[in-house]
Each structure stands twice: as C-alpha cells, then as structure tokens.
Chains A and B, each alone.
Chain A
Amino acid sequence: MHRRLGAKMVDFGGWDMPVEYSGLIAEHMAVRTGVGVFDVSHMGDILVYGKQALDAVQWISMNDASKLQIGQAHYSALLYEQGTFVDDVIVHKLGENDYLLVINAGTREKDWNWVRQNVSKFNCHAKDVGDYYTQLAIQGPKAAQVMQKLTDVDLSIIKNYWFKHGTVCGIPNTMVARTGYTAEDGFEIYVPSDVETSERVWNEVMEAGKEFGIIPCGLGARNTLRLEGKMALYGHEISDTINVFEAALDRYCKFEKGDFMGRAALERAKAGGLKRILVGLEMIERGIGRDDYKVFNEAGAEIGYITSGSPAPFLKKNIALAYVPPEYSALETVVCVEIRGQKVKAKVVPTPFYKRPKKTV
C-alpha cells in the first residue's frame, strides 16, 4: 500500500517499512505544527491476563502497575536479572486482571519469549496478539481534531497516556490511546489487521485529515521526532548492556513496589556508582554527530559514544544523545565528537531537546 503513496521502503526488524513519503523534514514539521499519520503495525502487542496478571506484570516490568487505573497506560521497561533492558514498553490496564504490553518491532520475538517464560510461574496467561492489529499513530497538535471526526469517543476527556474504547471509522470497540513516540500530542489506534480494513481506515484518516494538511510519515521522521523528545530507542539508548540508571530512566523504576526482575542488580549498581550516563549534546561547531560516533574530552581522551545523532528538523540544530562518564554530564560541558577523523565541538544541553507547548484544549 505505502509504495503506491510514493514511499521509500526499508527492511526494519524484518518488516518492509516506509522510511519517508514526501520528505523527512516536511513530515517532521507536519507533526510538530499540524498532523501526520504513521503506520506502526510493526509494534508488538502482548496480552497478560488472568487472576495473577498484576503480579506477573509487576514482576516483569519496572514501573508500578498497581498504580494504573483501568483505561490508563504508562511507560515501563522489561529488565534482565542484571538490570539491563530486554525492551521498553507501554503497559495499558485494560481491565482488573487484563494488561496490554506494547513492545518494539525489532525485539518482538525476543520479548515474547522472555515474557512468556517469566510470567509462567504466575496464575495468568500471555498471548502474542501483535498480528491481530494494524496500529496507526495520528500525531500532532491537530491530531485530536482529525480523530474526533472519525470516532464517537469524546477525545477531549482522554488525558495523556490514557485510552478508551469506542467506534472508530465504523469499527466498534476500537482502542484509542493518547500515546505516541513523537513528543507531540496524538493518538494511537488499534484496528483489525486485515488488508481491507487497514487500508480503509488509513484512507479515512487521510481524508479526515485533508483539511488539516495531514501527510503520511515514515520511520525517518519517527526517529528524528523521538530524538528531539529524548525518547529511547532499543539498540541505541537502551540495550542488554545498559542499565536503568545509565539510561536515566530510573524515574519510571519503582523500587518501593516490591521485588521485580533486575531489582537486586540495580540496587548494587546504584551503590557502586554510575560509570556512564546518557546526556544530550548539541553540536557547537559545524558537523553532525551520528549514531556510534566517538566522544572525546577536550584533552583528547576518548570518553564515550553517541547512541543517536541527527540534524533536528524542528529545532534546526544538530543534536545527539551520548553516553559519557558522569563528570562530563554537567550542562554546558564542552566535549568533542569525532567526525571522519576530525574533532568537532559539542556541548551538554538540557533534555528533552524539545518540549511541546502546554496543551490548551
């Protein structure tokens, strides 16, 4: 379908995915200033349900799912015993003993096997339902106006990271979540994955969005949008060798909730002190720091590396996330990024690089 829309495709985690349609910068700006739509069906979906579903979710994920109300979601992560990442995840509480975990594409099979194995000691079930859904993300300050034309759900009462079920494009009981990966307001909808329904919903979203200038967006814009918002990407900011404190995601890790996978190792890691931490960099000399480029101090010693780096289309700066020792993490610290053999200066800046304006509706 996307090829017909003029998309450039790429293999992403085994999925044939659109990188860009009309152009990465135009797509990025549409989401920051208007509205864009992404097909994110490559995301995985796992249901955990049954009598001990909450206990299972509490054991396998680091945030405190007991705090969730029905219809609420939160950011969390699945951790190995050593406190490093299996993946990050959005946990949705569908019902009293019913949770939906939305996971990454590239890690779907690994995540599924890991979840299945680690919930097995609880009285609950796990089910991989990723193939049941086409997931579309409608993102941008005008996303609510577009979606309100297509659903009977009153979107104005859905808060950020909450969701409701209702009729969307004539499909009853469809999940509409105020979530996304763009650091912008927006919704993610989950519709049946058959081609006919998926295409129809996509076309209806495009039609409803026409008056708001909606455009289809690809993985390229998805990456620059999430980078401006400092949202982690597996294999970059988080991985099986990076722990929660290093990734600066400990605010989503609730030690007070009781035991969970990775907890003991994280407590040891905290006591032992941090060796590196994720910081935001902005290039101050001409050049673009990219993924995996090395970071040096001003004296010329190698101190770390960039996890994600790119021109930031909305901010119009060259930005990067990088792991460096904590002594280099203070704001305004000057470091050097090695770009094709040259040391190019950058400085540590506050993150997220981009924060959306406070909602007015």
Chain B
Amino acid sequence: MNVLVAEKSDFQRNGLRWMLEQSGLAIERFTEAANAKDLFEQAFTGQHQLLLVDVDMLSHDDWKSMSEVAKTSVVIGITETKDFDLAIRCMEAGCYRLFVKPLAIQSFMEALQQVGETTARRPHAKEGAARREALKKEWVSTLIHGQVTNLREVWNQAIQLGYDALPSSVMVARISRLNELMANKSDAWRRQVLTQVFHTVQAFSQDTGMIATLIQDEFVLLYTPKKGEQKHELVENMKKLGLRLHQEVKAQTGYVLNIACGDEYKNPMLLYHSYEEAKRLLSLEFYFSSGRICAYADFPALFNKEIIEEIEVPFDEEEITRENLAFLFGELEKKLVRLKEGGVSPLYYKLTLMYVWLKMTKHFHYTEQEQFRSFLQKGELFLNCESADDLLAKWKGFMEELAENAVFSTHHLMIDRVLDFINANFHQPITLEQAAEHINRSPYYLSHLFKKVMNMTFVEYITHVRIKRAKELLLMDEYTISDIAASIGYQDPNYFSRVFKAICGVSPKKWKTQKKLETTRMARSGKGDVTTLQKVTTYHNSV
C-alpha cells in the first residue's frame, strides 16, 4: 500500500509514521507533505491508497480537491479542534474517519487495520478503471467488427459499463499522415503520440457522451442517438462533433485528424456496417486535403462499382507522346475529379494511374527490364500515397522525369562523348571535372547523368576500364606491374595492385599465375579428349 501523510509538524509526521509501521499494514511507499500544495500535487498522481491529512492545513478552496481525492483513495482526517462544522465538512468531502489530536492510539490503529482490510478487498481504483477500459474496448471491438451474436449480451455489458442506450453510428479518426510523420520514429514514440492524442479524444468523448476507444492506429468513437433524434439531425450532430474533435485535438496536441462518420444502424448486430463505411470514407480522404470531416450520408454513391462500367480507357495508344505529357497530366487530373464525385474507391484511381504508367513505360523505356523496374517502383509509390495532393505532385515529378527522358537520346550522346573521352584518356589521371569540361556541363550534372545512364559512378567506370585493360596487358607477358600501372594511369604501382586486389579479389601477380595455370590445364585436357575420340573412331572403323 502507498501512503501519503500530510502534516505541518515534523514531530507529528514522525509520530504518524511510527504508528503506521506498528499497525502491521503492508506499506510499499511512504510519502510526506508539509503543506496543502504538496499534498494535492502528490495525491493527484493517483498512486496512494491511504492519505492521512491534517485537515487544519486545508483552505476553503482545497476542500473541493479533497472530495476528488477521496473518490479514489481512503482519506483519514486529523485535526486539533473539536469543531462540529469541520466534522460535517470532512463527511461531505468523503473522509473515512476524523481523529482529534492527541490521537487515541488504539482506535487509530484499529481504523488503520480496517482500512487495510477494505483496500485489500477493494481493487485499486486505478486497476478498476483499467479493467473497465479493457471491457469497454472489448465491447466496442465486438460491435464494430460485427461479432455480436446475442443482443442481450450486448445490453448486459452496456449496463455493466453504465450505458442506458446503445450507440447507432461510428466515427473513426486517424492522425493525418501518421505514417509519414512517424517514418523515422520508433514504435515507442508512435505509441506516445497516440496516447497523447487519445487523452484529448477521451476528454472530448466524456464531455460529449460518446464512447471512445483506441483500436490500433484509429480512434473509434461511438455515437448514441438522443431520444427523438431524427436521422438528418443525427448526421448534422455527428459532423458538428467531428469538427469540434478536430479543432480540439489540433489546438491541444497540434496533430490533424482525418475524421469520418458512418451511417446510422440502430441494430447493434449491424453496427459494423457503420464502422466499415467510416473506414472506407477514411480511405476517401485520399481525395481531399487532410482534416476534412466526411459523413457517409454525403456520399450516397460511395464506392459505386458500376461506375467502372462507365469509365473509358484513359488514353489512346497514339496519344502517349512526348509532346502530349502536359495534356495527359491534365486528363488524369480530370479523371480524379470524376472518380471523386462518383464516390469511387481511390484504389481505382491508383490502378488507373498504374495502367497509364505501364503504357508510358513502353513508350519511354527501351528494354523490358527498364519497363518492369519503372512499373514496380512507381506502382509502389502510387499505391502508398496517402492523399491525392501527394500523388499528383509525385506524378508530376515522374512526368518531368519522363520529359527529361524525352531528351534521352541527347543524354546518351553526351555520355557517349564522355565514354570516348574516358577510353582515350584512361591511361592518364583524369577527373570528373575534366570530363565535364569536355562536354561543357557542370561536374554535378555529369555525375548525376552518368549515374542515371550507366547505373554506376564516373570513378567506378574508369576503374573498371582500367582494370580491364590491365588484365589484357598482364596476359601479354611483356609488361611488369609497374609498366602496366603507369600505362593505365596509376602513378604508383603499389596503389594499382591494391585497387586490382579490391576489384578482382587477388593481386595482379597471383591473378596472372592463376590464369596461366588455367590455360595450361585447359590445353592439356583438350588434347586428352582428342585422343579418346580418335580411339573410339578407330574402334568403330575396325568393327
């Protein structure tokens, strides 16, 4: 048991401590407070089961806080004055007992023992709250996942939780761009953020009578209709509440919530439809700027699959040309508006984009491997985009990239010139700057372009060219390592050997020996084969 003793005098505090030790109570933590401020600071942490309070230290305003504390902990008051009004005040505040100093040790000890027994029997208030929270979460989860099999059980649990009516609509809220915000954060960080927002959501729900729980990354709020509330009123009220929640969370935590409200289902067995609708609406958030409150009632044709029948093929094959890229982008934007207004799942829009991209890759990438790689990379980005704004921005970037690819051949010509330059000069110590100067571009531009076209850096390429040449020279037997190093642009033979070993795994000398051995072996085994063949032929002839 954790005990808090609030008493002005040190002497009295020590006396109380001694009595507590003698009482036989299992005391885990003993905390002291010398004034009312310290007392309430400690008491509001909610960690103390027993409080011994010198009530004479309380001012008029402190009694209200005292009532709050007495709701979750046992409070024993101690006073110096035999005052009837004070006794009444203690009773009203919910004090367990009031003792007058000097304390009658025996009755005080008895009172402490009684407290020990009752707190042992009564679960800790905090544990009780946690259990209730867990029960509520389970209840909400059953409702929103369509696992209700018996209405009476739903009611029994509702009564246990203190609800006298059942919810009929679901509101789901999610932190906008949570994944993006938390991309470089730990899970613990993520949990902390969710908890922080959840506290605000919970305070909101207590204020508005909604039932709130946190299920994974989503805040689920259940709305119970008021008596006589009609459906259109309910939709309006939910939207208002959604807006209020949005504003409160933004003001208090700085996070923006995407909020969606499902339709009304008075039968708890069907409430899961409301949750699913809200979730689908949240995915519709993709179409909107973040933080907008959506209600299912505003999208009567939500995820209307029939619209697929009406959607035309985005473009003719001939329309996909380099000159038409701006037009294509405009068309895709228009398509987005149509699908959004038709209430079509964002997934279809994303799939449309992927289809278009696939067609475009065929026009702008020459090899099948390039097409496939580009489709996979961009496709993943399309699918993972959280909002239409993001996606359109990205798509524009890709378009620009393609537009750059429109001068693909120019790039190739430029790189060809660089390659010629390298091949002609690799035996000298050439640099990126020299090559860039050769093609009249900045070194940064060349580095970027080179990597894009060749899929390796300028330095990597030169090294490979040099090593290739070195291998040729090594096999010729006419040159020493130093000669070779000098002929391919390495001033220092030792430096050449180390680079060679790094690339090929062995030193130039060893490489040369290995190659020679292999050649000799191959020559020998090749001769042996001929002998066998000759024998077989001879045998056949003799037969």
Real binding pair:
no
